[in-house]
């Protein structure tokens, strides 16, 4: 696995080293994870996603992607949370945040159903125009309101454009193998379906068809993703503290948390990693934020946010530490040229690359923040591509399982997500929620 972890700006805040007790705790947590003896052990199927058992499914994903590439100029991906963020993060990470606007042979990809905004939904309808398109609707439960509403809208558009029979050939449903409204609808209408495995929760599902199909449509080879993810899982589940950076990451974040640092800020100097930060926030926030425990995961885009959040990071409440993700080499390089007039007084940087300047900005930031009382860690990747995206996800997922067990929570459930849903169902008038609707009405809500 081609990822490195540098703790030198964090260790001084935990006494200079990670103590033996913490190391042992991390190893015990890893053992709980890999032996499936902890809470939530029916949701650890993601550890085995790359063991080759799903070869047939991977071939089906490639075939579907090829068909979509052949008959569509755009793919509309409908999903929310774990059924959205992995594909979105991967697309941006690998191709940059302007995938839809760069010249390419593959279809544009639009994400909807990750909210209920009419304007955002209409924008996508406008951008589709009269182009040929397909839909990949993703919902493990098959009952989530936001994607269900979006699917009704885009299914309607497809049926109007192509007729019901042709439309059905352009709809790909990724859902539970047996349960849920979406599965029932797919069976009746004859959509091509892909399965979200029972033992893989949403936020751990990017390397199931949930993420593999949209990324394959963009031209990313599922075999490359799975192989790199599998290598990362192997490396991150080795019971060797000095060699396993997932153990080290889990240990240092728990050490900092116990020392009063209750906010972890994901920080990257590449805008293409913005959605990796969003994916990471869901992974750690949903896995650890329960029973009144957990680090609050936040994120910043640098250097941009140094001009907005920089003041707080440098001098605000000392409750946070930062996790920097550094990309060593840019995919394309730009040199700062010598200017004969030097009216902008920038010739001192002439001959240097923009990546060098970015790295110097990062070195300046990590040092200033450490001096200001903000511990920071750096995760380094050689370059942005499919392999490093999958490796980074594998590292973060394994570390999340270990870290959650160290914290003493079940990292694989999300009971707190249900609370708003119950109220929303009542307010939207869903059958079966009359009593709750009345209760809310008595409180003046709705």
Which residues lie near ligand PA5 (CB under 6 A)? 80-83, 139-141, 144, 147, 201-203, 286, 414, 417
The catalytically annotated residue of 55, 238, 421, 438 is 421
How many of the other CB atoms lie within 10 Å of CB of 121? 18
Q: Are 64 and 192 in contact (CB under 8 A)?
A: yes
Nearest to ligand PA5 of 176, 322 (CB atom): 176
Select 93 or 204, whichever has its Cβ closest to ligand PA5: 204
Q: Which residues pair with 297 in a beta bridge?
A: 264
Q: Which two tokens stand for residue 134?
A: 């397909």
Nearer to ligand PA5, 69 or 410 (CB): 410
Q: First and final CA of the chain: distance in angstroms? A: 52
- Tell me phi and psi for residue 122, to 5 degrees: -65, -35
User: Least Å distance between CB 396 and ligand PA5?
Assistant: 14
Reading the block at residue 133, the tokens are 């398109």
Q: Closer to ligand PA5 at the Cβ: 251 or 283?
A: 283
Q: Which is nearer to ligand PA5, 136 or 139 (CB)?
A: 139
The residue with its CB nearest to ligand PA5 is 202
Q: Which residue has the tokens 């949701």?
A: 43
CB 155 within 8 A of CB 167: yes
User: How is residue 297 written in tokens?
Assistant: 């995961």
Provide, rounded to whole angstroms, the least separation between the CB of residue 313 and ligand PA5: 28
Minimum CB separation from ligand PA5 for residue 197, in Å? 12
Q: Following DSSP, what letter does each residue of 56-92 receive, concatenated?
A: HHHHHHHHHHHHHHHH-SEEEEE--GGGTHHHHHHHH
| 413 vs 417: CA distance, rounded Å | 10
Q: Identify the H or E element spanning 139.
A: strand 133-139
Minimum separation from the CB atom of position 443 to ligand PA5 (A): 26
Strand partners, 325: 268, 379
Residue 283 CB, shortest distance to ligand PA5, in Å, is 8
Query: Whole-number minimum distance, CB 141 to ligand PA5, in Å?
Result: 3
Phi, psi of 428 (to 5 degrees): -80, -10
Q: How many angstroms separate the CA atoms of 202 and 208, rounded? A: 10
Which of the following is catalytic: 286, 288, 387, 397? Answer: 286
- Least distance from C-beta 92 to ligand PA5, angstroms? 18
Find the catalytic residue in 242, 307, 341, 418: 307
Q: Which CB sits closer to ligand PA5, 81 or 90?
A: 81
Q: Give the span between the Cα atoms of 135 and 396, in whole angstroms.
A: 29
Residue 412 CB, shortest distance to ligand PA5, in Å, is: 9
* DSSP per-residue codes, 366-396: HHHHHHTT--EEEEEES--SHHHHHHHHHHH
Half-sphere exposure of 98 (CA within 13 A, CB side): 4
Q: Which segments of 189-342 are extended strands (E)? A: 192-195, 263-268, 296-301, 320-327
Using CA atoms, how far apart are residues 82 and 204, in angstroms rounded to an integer?
A: 7
Contact 313, 124 (CB under 8 A): no
Q: Residue 202, Cβ neighbours under 10 Å: how many?
A: 28
Give whichever of 47 and 381 is closer to ligand PA5, judged by the CB atom: 47
| 421 given a catalytic annotation | yes
Q: Which is nearer to ligand PA5, 203 or 290 (CB)?
A: 203
| Active centre residues (catalytic) | 286, 307, 421
């Amino acid at each position: 696995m081609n990822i490195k972890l540098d703790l030198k700006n964090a260790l001084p805040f935990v006494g200079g080293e990670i103590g033996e007790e913490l190391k042992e705790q991390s190893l015990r947590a890893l053992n709980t994870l890999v032996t499936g003896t902890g809470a939530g052990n029916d949701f650890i199927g993601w550890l085995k996603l790359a063991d080759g058992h799903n070869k047939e499914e991977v071939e089906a994903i490639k075939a579907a992607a090829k068909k979509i590439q052949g008959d569509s100029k755009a793919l509309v991906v409908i999903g929310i949370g774990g059924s959205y963020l992995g594909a979105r993060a991967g697309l941006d990470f690998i191709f940059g945040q302007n995938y839809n606007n760069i010249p390419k042979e593959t279809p544009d990809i639009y994400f909807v159903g990750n909210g209920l905004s009419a304007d955002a939904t209409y924008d996508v309808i406008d951008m589709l125009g009269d182009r040929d398109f397909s839909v990949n609707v993703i919902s493990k439960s098959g009952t989530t309101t936001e994607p269900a509403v979006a699917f009704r809208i885009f299914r309607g558009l497809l049926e109007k454009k192509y007729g019901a029979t042709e439309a059905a050939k352009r709809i790909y449903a990724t859902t539970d193998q047996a349960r849920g409204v979406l599965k029932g609808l797919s069976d009746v209408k004859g959509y091509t379906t892909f399965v979200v495995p029972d033992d893989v929760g949403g936020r751990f599902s990017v390397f199931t068809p949930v993420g593999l199909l949209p990324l394959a449509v963009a031209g990313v080879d599922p075999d490359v993703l799975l192989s790199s993810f599998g290598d990362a899982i192997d490396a991150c589940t080795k019971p060797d503290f000095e060699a396993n950076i997932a153990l080290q990451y889990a240990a240092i974040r728990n050490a900092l948390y116990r020392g009063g640092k209750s906010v972890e800020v994901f920080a990257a100097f590449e805008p293409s990693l913005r959605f990796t930060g969003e994916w990471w926030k869901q992974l750690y926030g949903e896995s650890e934020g329960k029973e009144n425990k957990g680090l609050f995961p936040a994120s910043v885009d640098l250097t941009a946010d140094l001009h907005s959040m920089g003041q707080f990071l440098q001098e605000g409440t000392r409750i946070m530490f930062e996790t920097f993700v550094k990309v060593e080499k840019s995919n394309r390089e730009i040199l700062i040229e010598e200017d004969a007039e030097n009216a902008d007084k920038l010739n001192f940087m002439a001959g240097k690359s923009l990546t060098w300047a970015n790295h110097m900005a990062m070195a300046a930031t990590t040092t200033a923040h450490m001096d200001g009382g903000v511990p920071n860690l750096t995760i380094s990747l050689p370059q942005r591509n499919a392999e490093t995206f999958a490796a980074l996800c594998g590292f973060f997922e394994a570390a999340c399982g270990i870290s959650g067990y160290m914290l003493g929570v079940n990292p694989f459930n999300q009971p707190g997500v249900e609370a708003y849903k119950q109220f929303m169902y009542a307010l939207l008038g869903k059958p079966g929620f009359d009593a709750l609707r009345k209760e809310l009405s008595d409180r003046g809500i709705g």
